[in-house]
């Protein structure tokens, strides 16, 4: 509430300050009783916002699909992190690695541009009003279900699941190397907390099922802070002490292709 002007920016009632004098509230969204405004139709507002989000997703998908058609002037050198990998899990809606580095995407976790199934939202509803209004159209897992988007992640890898189960029983495949998971170009923000928690659900049996290598740019601080926010400091500290979690500086693509003798960093496990 603006005390000086008696204006409530949430309901739109009262006398607005000069900064708001050009704004008005659509009468369709105002609850009235005997002609007097008594509140806002929250459901209608959320429905309008959800429709606007769907429109934006369509526009954004068209834009990414357009970018997909651009052809680089020359072939790009392959960063070492992409030189020997089995699977790619893409979060960015495009076939960048296929197009630029001849590496096929096999899993588009948030959908693929041009196919009408991209996911763009938050990980969970936390605001009580949004929960009460069942505003799940903004939530990623809801969009995945509606769009039938490929949302299988590490739990869909039978080899990794079998290795982890064996470890949890107190035994180990002595001749099986742990899986290496490389994260490149992802902020590790809470909006993808489901995937982060799935990664850290492994290594529970005292043996190493996976090594997690995170490529950072320009520093690891933001990604490390996001991991701590999602998983808590104790888990992250334990993983780093055990050598299960490593931060590596991301390759500079410009230098890789234009600077003589430039070599990008690799994990100590590679």
Average pLDDT per 10 consecutive residues for the chain, totaling 270 residues: 50 54 75 85 91 94 91 90 88 88 85 89 89 92 87 83 78 72 93 92 87 93 96 96 95 94 86
Q: Which pLDDT value is given to residue 6?
A: 54
SS3 215: strand
Range of the domain at 148: 43-80+106-152
Q: Which pLDDT value is given to residue 2?
A: 47
Q: Which pLDDT value is given to residue 254?
A: 93
Do residue 145 and residue 224 come from a single domain? no
**Residue 101 in domain:** no
Residue where a domain stops, chosen among 92, 124, 152: 152
**Residue 53 in domain:** yes
Do residue 208 and residue 145 come from a single domain? no
Do residue 167 and residue 203 come from a single domain? yes
Do residue 189 and residue 125 come from a single domain? no
Q: Which pLDDT value is given to residue 1?
A: 43
**Dist. CA 11–CA 183, nearest whole Å:** 43
Do residue 164 and residue 245 come from a single domain? yes
Find out whether the peptide bond into 234 is cis, omega within 30 degrees of 0.
no
**Dist. CA 178–CA 172, nearest whole Å:** 11
Q: Which pLDDT value is given to residue 172?
A: 56
**Dist. CA 135–CA 52, nearest whole Å:** 14
Do residue 142 and residue 228 come from a single domain? no
**Residue 14 in domain:** yes
Question: Between the CA of residue 3 and those of 7, 14, 37, what are the distances in Å?
Answer: 7, 10, 20
Do residue 5 and residue 76 come from a single domain? no
SS3 192: helix
**Residue 96 in domain:** no
Do residue 136 and residue 194 come from a single domain? no
**Residue 261 in domain:** yes
**Residue 2 in domain:** yes
Do residue 166 and residue 268 come from a single domain? yes
**Residue 97 in domain:** no
List the alpha helices (DSSP H) in 90-157: 96-101, 128-132, 140-147
Do residue 173 and residue 130 come from a single domain? no
Report, in this order, helix, strand and coil percent for the chain, each rounded to 5.
40, 15, 45
**Dist. CA 64–CA 42, nearest whole Å:** 33
**Residue 174 in domain:** yes
- Per the structure, the count of domains in the chain is 3
Do residue 126 and residue 233 come from a single domain? no
Q: Which pLDDT value is given to residue 23?
A: 62
Do residue 36 and residue 75 come from a single domain? no
């Amino acid at each position: 509430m603006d005390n000086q002007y008696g204006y409530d920016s949430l309901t739109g009632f009262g006398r607005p300050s000069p900064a708001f004098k050009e704004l008005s509230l659509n009468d369709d969204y105002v609850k009235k009783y005997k002609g007097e405004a008594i509140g806002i139709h929250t459901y209608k507002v959320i429905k309008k916002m959800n429709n606007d989000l769907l429109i934006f997703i369509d526009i954004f998908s068209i834009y990414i699909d357009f970018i997909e058609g651009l052809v680089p002037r020359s072939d790009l050198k392959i960063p070492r992190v992409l030189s020997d990998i089995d699977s790619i899990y893409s979060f960015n809606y495009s076939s960048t690695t296929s197009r630029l580095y001849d590496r096929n995407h096999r899993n588009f976790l948030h959908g693929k541009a041009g196919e009408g199934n991209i996911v763009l939202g938050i990980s969970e509803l936390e605001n009580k009003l949004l929960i009460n209004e069942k505003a799940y159209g903004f939530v990623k897992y809801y969009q995945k279900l509606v769009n039938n988007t490929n949302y299988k992640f590490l739990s869909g890898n039978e080899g990794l699941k079998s290795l982890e189960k064996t470890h949890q029983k107190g035994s180990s495949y002595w001749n099986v190397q742990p899986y290496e998971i490389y994260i490149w170009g992802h902020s590790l923000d809470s909006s993808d907390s489901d995937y982060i928690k799935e990664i850290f659900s492994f290594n529970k049996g005292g043996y190493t099922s996976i090594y997690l290598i995170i490529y950072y740019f320009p520093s690891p601080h933001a990604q490390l802070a996001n991991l701590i926010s999602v998983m808590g400091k104790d888990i992250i500290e334990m993983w780093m002490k055990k050598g299960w979690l490593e931060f590596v500086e991301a390759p500079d693509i410009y230098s890789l292709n234009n600077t003589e003798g430039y070599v990008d960093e690799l994990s100590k496990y590679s």
